[in-house]
């Protein structure tokens, strides 16, 4: 014999509140409060040490910002998180006087950015990254 689920007044009230606040809709759209991003202090330390080492031998360190496929998901919160992440990471590189090659803008301009991924990058994605790095190093674009 199967038991019927018992609905308490509290459970019913919670369900009604979730419905009235459109909680599930906001969750599906990614409009909940978990859109936060911070840079781990260790990342800044590593980037700083890399810059110091490369400067010591007279080299030039470049920061290549590569997008992940998650950036192109439909989840609004994730998109905002990746924009925030990119802004903070690029600001840190700029603060350390490390030139940034932003590959994201080239993926964004692509007619089908998700086709540039297959696990990590597809062959088209790797080709685009390589071409844009080469162009940037040649001084024709960034």
pLDDT tens for each residue of 13-43? 777 776 666 656 655 555 555 555 678 889 9
**DSSP class of 71:** G
The reported pTM is 0.69
**Residues 56, 125: Cα–Cα separation, whole Å:** 34
Average pLDDT over residues 52-63: 96
Please report which confidence band the pLDDT of residue 2 belongs to, taking 50, 70 and 90 as the band edges: low
Please report which confidence band the pLDDT of residue 73 belongs to, taking 50, 70 and 90 as the band edges: confident
**DSSP class of 116:** G
In order of start, what are the domains of the chain with their CATH numbers? 9-138 (3.40.50.1110)
pLDDT tens for each residue of 85-104? 889 999 999 999 999 999 99
Task: Give the residue from 63, 69, 83, 65 showing the smallest Cα distance to 121.
Answer: 69
More confident residue, 6 or 65: 65
């Amino acid at each position: 014999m199967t038991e019927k689920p018992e609905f308490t007044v509290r459970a019913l009230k919670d369900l009604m509140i979730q419905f009235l606040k459109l909680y599930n809709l906001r969750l599906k759209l990614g409009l909940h409060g978990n859109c936060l991003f911070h840079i781990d202090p260790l990342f800044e330390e590593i980037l700083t040490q890399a810059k110091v080492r490369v400067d010591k031998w007279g080299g030039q360190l470049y920061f290549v910002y590569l997008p992940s496929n998650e950036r192109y998901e439909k989840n609004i919160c994730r998109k905002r998180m990746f924009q925030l992440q990119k802004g903070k990471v690029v600001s840190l590189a700029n603060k350390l006087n490390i030139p940034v090659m932003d590959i994201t803008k080239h993926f964004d301009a692509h007619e089908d950015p998700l086709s540039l991924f297959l696990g990590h990058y597809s062959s088209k994605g790797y080709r685009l990254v390589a071409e844009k790095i080469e162009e940037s190093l040649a001084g024709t674009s960034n």
